[in-house]
Structure 1
Amino acid sequence: MSGQSVLVFDEQKYSRDELEALADALASRLVRDGVTAGQRVALMSSNRPEFVVAVLAIWRAGAAVVLISPAWKSVEVAHALATTSPVYAIGDNPVLAELMPMLSLDESVTCSADTETFGEPDPASDAVLVFSSGTTGLPKAVRHTHASFAVAVEQWRDVLELTERDRMQIVTPPSHILGLLNIVTALESGAWLRLHRRFDLDTMLHHIEVDRITVEMAVAPIALAIASHPKLESYDLSSLRYIMWGATPVTPSVAEEVTRRTGVGWMPAYGASELPVIACNPVEGAQLDSVGRAAPGVSLRIVSTETGEVLGTGETGEIQALSASVMAGYLPDEETAGAFAGGWYRTGDVGHLDDGGWLRITDRLKEMIKVRGFQVAPAEIEAVLHGHPGVADCAVFGIPDPKDGEAIVAAVATSGSIGEVELMELVAGRMAGYKRLRRVVFVPEIPRLPSGKVLRRELKERYGRTSD
């Protein structure tokens, strides 16, 4: 088929017409196999073009796609299936195939004249179900309708200032909301897109240079890897308009190191599975200590974590957001009510707004450490630790303490010679007494989700013995 390529994978190239024809053919197969509008289809796939075709096909058939991480094990996948009750499964993962009949993505899907004619899906029907981070327990399924996800795509295109002239690459998992959002937004904008099988830093940097990538996406582990690359200057990254930093607040020292070595600036952004685009820095004039201003079509407010009262400018509390791109709810259904306060989505993040509308996040509500009645934000201490040249990565968490309520522990991955006392003195010299470190544990790496979020629960289970 003719047409300019919009999607590239290894040496394979696909035009928009080819993707549409393949999606029609697969959607026709789904309909013949009994999939009907309103049902759910599980998709557990590696990063590959067939993932894109499968998503488009499921939507054409009027069904909702249940995105399951290819990294999940049998127990996690079984929980996802029990939560969402899909009637059909597509993928390339043997774990899913063991749990229910699965149409393999390795089967050839060919364009055919024998295809159905598909209309637009009902905007109010579910489009995609993704799973929340699950850092505090079993993951919940987040339901987005076609209407809410379409608004999220429009908001993402607006804040990225994405056009048909842009060129992107996807190295993060497609089963995460950001991966899906990037793919669909690129296709809707007419941008050029390369998919990679997996993340490899040198491959990513090489393709920025040879493909003349204009917009790069990064989460914290990728940003850390770029900043510490010994031969970063050997790559020509001049085509980049910016690098987007998402999933976690920016670590300024890491971002500034990349800019110093490459000349490329950053665009911090803030979203969640439940509300994909909450706030974003402008393409020009980003502030690294802020996740930006509210995205178009999003309203923000800060409320007291104690009383729920709406707070004023500069006051710190829970961040809440209102937008047409917010999720329809969770599965199980009973989890939904607690996610909203009078229609406002409760992010669970703590922060404040300044006079200019810039939003700054200080921590996760559930991750705040209580020491002698004081609230301590792990991110505040992590920022100090990151400033030490011997700290490659770190995470701070609380453990039970009979005297103080909780004691503060830092897990640190080092990039040089460094000792516990030195780090404890560093924090003690910069922060209030109740924020002092009780213990430092040195680890090979900080456990994180693919999105970059720290698995503090895992650290607590591994190193959370009661303080002396």
Structure 2
Amino acid sequence: MTTTTTGRGAPPPRTVPELLDWRTALHPDRVAVEVHGVARLTFAEWSAGAGAVAAALRHRGLRHGDRVGLVFGAHDWTRFAVAYCGVLRAGGVAVPLSDRLAAGQLGYALTHCAATAVVHGDDTPTPPVPPGLPVWTCGDLLADPGTNPDQADTDPKLSAARPGDLAQILYTSGTTGRPKGVAASHANLTAGAPSHPRRLALAHSERFLHAFAIGTNAGQTMLLNALTAKAGALTLPRFTPLRFARLVEAAGTGTVFVVPSIAVELLDSGALRGRDTSGVQLIGSTAAPLAPAIAARLAAAFPQATIVNYYTSTEAAPAQTTMIYDPTRRDAVGRPVGGQLMVADAHGNPLPAGTTGDVWLCAPYPRAYYRDEAANRATFRDGWVRMGDVGRVDADGYLYLTDRHQDVIKTGAFKVSTLEVEAALHEHPLVAEAAVVGVPHPVLGSAVAAAVVPRPPTGPDGLSLPALRGFLADRLADYQLPARLLLLDRLPRNEGGKVLKRQLTGLFDN
């Protein structure tokens, strides 16, 4: 079953620098990106800085299509924005990477994409890059005395970017194996971007608040939002629930974006207690499934806000489904926006409503894995992206996820959805976070195991396996009940907030 939501008469594709030029002409003095207490960047400053970086990179030998690693941290979002658009303005390909990556992870990404240079933040140590790779700070490029910022746009030899050109490579989280580089064109990144000033997104907000990491798909979405939204982007040099809550309450914060782990930390910390959250009109959650119990808590904490869950992936963006929190459809993840949705059989044939199968999304100007044709054949097909999830679409077009393909637990004659068990666990008042995995069992093949971050108390009156199974008995079938329980201080997560379930499985063996 497919549901088409792409509109007709869409404007022709643009490049990211063209989008920046458009916003600069409209709102040169408006703040586009702000790191609270650290730096602000207006559109005029963003455009001028990107031009200077582009000219400096071309002066230093950057050729059209060359890949440039951008290694930045949360305190340097403004310089990252300048460097990112500078690389693209010069015709290069940006490879955003978090400064929190281990040396091996960083080296793998830079080697895999054959990066020709690395740019990093001004106030951070030189990142550990492969030998011989040029490394510059953004400040080095902005201060390059031998360049003219206007040259990057006027010199025909600089081969300006075109909408179909490769613009960025994002390395996936690697939760199931070696990270893959997901390549996106300019047309992909600007698809759906407004072309009229009255159609800017998030018009109800003066700014939108987030705490997403550079190098993640969610982080890149926030950067593109800064170009396409009426509201400016606001983030923190370092996330803490108290700092985040203060900005939630600040005048002008009309939109807040979170991942479920941030939502849980914010709600459990008490930082919102006594604060006026009435100015927030939209709470958006992405990157991981939002358990219904967490969505309900967000709705209570932000009574004036619409709670929206976004379902997509690094490979499928900008195609996504969106779900406005609806207690009558607690488990739905929404209907498609900006593309098409399909549930198909193992051969890619569409299935009728209500039938469980593989989830696929489709959007114009699709992405692809960089230098990995085998993976492309398994994941991409005629513009469609196999999401790696199992689910169904109901008669009204709402998608319901069963689980990730690799996470479904086969125990005896039954298949168990870890998402369903996790949603039930989140309803327990002493469960702060939960993740469910399958562990080896000598008879059943696999058994259901739950890793839980408990809320106090954790002593005799706290969580135990018998007590937890008793709580879940009215919510789950007997074969879905956890046979193993592991209490942790925190769940292992990647930069994007996703739980590293492969690491969890190993913890049950200890």
1:69 aligns with 2:98: yes
Q: State whether residues 93 and 168 of structure 2, in contact with CA within 8 Å, keep that contact through their aligned partners in structure 1.
A: yes
1:6 aligns with 2:32: yes
Q: Where in structure 2 are the equivalents of 1:81-230 lying within 5 Å?
A: 81-92=110-121, 94=125, 96-99=127-130, 100-105=133-138, 107=140, 109=142, 114-115=148-149, 116-118=151-153, 120-151=160-191, 161-163=201-203, 166-230=206-270
Give the CA deviation at 1:274: 0.7
Q: 2:56 aligns with which of 2, 14, 29?
A: 29
**What TM-score, normalized by structure 1, do the two folds share?**
0.91
- Say if 1:90 and 1:262 are closer, same or farther in 2 by CA, change over 3 A: same
Q: Tell me the SS of whatever aligns to 2:280.
A: coil
Give the CA deviation at 1:166: 4.1
Greater CA drift, 420-429 or 379-388: 420-429
Q: Where in structure 2 are the equivalents of 1:225-304 lying within 5 Å?
A: 225-263=265-303, 264-281=305-322, 288-296=330-338, 298-304=339-345
Q: Which residue of 1 aligns with 2:499?
A: 454
Which of the pair has the greater relative contact order for Cα pairs under 8 Å at 6+ separation?
2
Q: Tell me the SS of whatever aligns to 1:275.
A: coil
**Aligned partners of 1:365, 1:282: CA distance in 2, in Å?**
22
**Aligned partners of 1:159, 1:432: CA distance in 2, in Å?**
48
Greater CA drift, 453-462 or 259-268: 259-268
Q: Tell me the SS of whatever aligns to 2:178.
A: coil
Q: Which residue of 1 aligns with 2:84?
A: 55
Q: 1:445 aligns with which of 457, 472, 490?
A: 490
**What TM-score, normalized by structure 2, do the two folds share?**
0.84
- Say if 1:386 and 1:44 are closer, same or farther in 2 by CA, change over 3 A: same
**Aligned partners of 1:53, 1:380: CA distance in 2, in Å?**
42
Give the CA deviation at 1:365: 0.9
Give the CA deviation at 1:278: 3.2
Q: Which residue of 2 aligns with 1:351?
A: 391
Greater CA drift, 254-263 or 438-447: 254-263
- Say if 1:189 and 1:436 are closer, same or farther in 2 by CA, change over 3 A: closer
**Aligned partners of 1:427, 1:232: CA distance in 2, in Å?**
29
Aligned length: 462
Cα deviation per residue 1:382-425 (whole Å; 9 max; x = unaligned)?
A: 11111110111111101122311111111111103121211123
Q: State the superposition RMSD in angstroms.
A: 2.7
Greater CA drift, 378-387 or 56-65: 378-387
Q: Which residue of 2 aligns with 1:422?
A: 467
**Aligned partners of 1:231, 1:328: CA distance in 2, in Å?**
41
Give the CA deviation at 1:285: 6.7
Q: State whether residues 145 and 328 of structure 1, in contact with CA within 8 Å, keep that contact through their aligned partners in structure 2.
A: no
1:394 aligns with 2:421: no
Q: State whether residues 316 and 352 of structure 1, in contact with CA within 8 Å, keep that contact through their aligned partners in structure 2.
A: yes
Given residue 384 of structure 2, which amino acid in structure 1 is its aligned partner?
Answer: W
Q: Tell me the SS of whatever aligns to 1:273.
A: coil
Give the CA deviation at 1:308: 4.3
Q: Tell me the SS of whatever aligns to 2:262.
A: helix
**Aligned partners of 2:101, 2:31: CA distance in 1, in Å?**
32
Q: Which runs of 5+ in 1 are unaligned?
A: none
Give the CA deviation at 1:283: 6.3
